[in-house]
Amino acid sequence: MFKDDCLFCKIVKGDIPSNKVYEDELCCAFYDIAPAAPTHFLVIPKDHIGSCGEIDGSNSAVVAHIFEVIAKVTKDMGVTDFRVVSNCGERAGQSVPHLHFHVLAGRDMTWPPG
Ligand code: AMP
């Protein structure tokens, strides 16, 4: 369930503080410590999954749940236009190896991402 040396597992356990915006039995959402947009929070599964590359039939239900949570939290915040990003692997920009979805809003977004 938890990985001992994982930063986000430590946030789930409460060993490292975070500014939470949502929590339930399966996932939690908290503001990014280095925001890349006026609104920038992360949604993570509580169970350790390394990245999008580790999603399979045994753990994919939480991903659907996370997208429901993203829709609910953004609605509650009054945010209608937002981007959801999950970096998978160092070359794609992943710095924390625990599956997370960035939710970014509050500014114009460009495409393609860098
Ligand atoms: P990524 O680089 O896609 O793996 O995203 C990891 C994100 O976690 C980055 O945007 C970091 O700013 C963010 N981050 C790292 N440590 C913390 C922390 N203690 N609390 C909140 N966000 C964090």
Residues 41-77 pLDDT 10s: 999 999 999 999 999 999 999 999 999 999 999 999 9
The pick from 95, 102, 103 for probing ligand 1's pocket by mutation, whose C-beta has the most ligand atoms within 8 angstroms, reads 95
Q: What number of other Cβ atoms are within 10 A of residue 17's Cβ?
A: 9
Model confidence over 63-112: pLDDT tens digits?
A: 999 999 999 999 999 999 999 999 999 999 999 999 999 999 999 999 99
What pLDDT is recorded for position 114? Answer: 85
Alpha-carbon distance of 40 to 30, in angstroms, equals 9
For the cut 90, the answer to whether the pLDDT of residue 1 exceeds it is: no
CA distance 22 to 12: 12
- Residue tagged active-site, from 48, 98, 100, 102: 100
The encoded tokens of residue 110 equal: 């460009």
CB atoms within 10 A of CB 36: 11
48 is catalytic: no
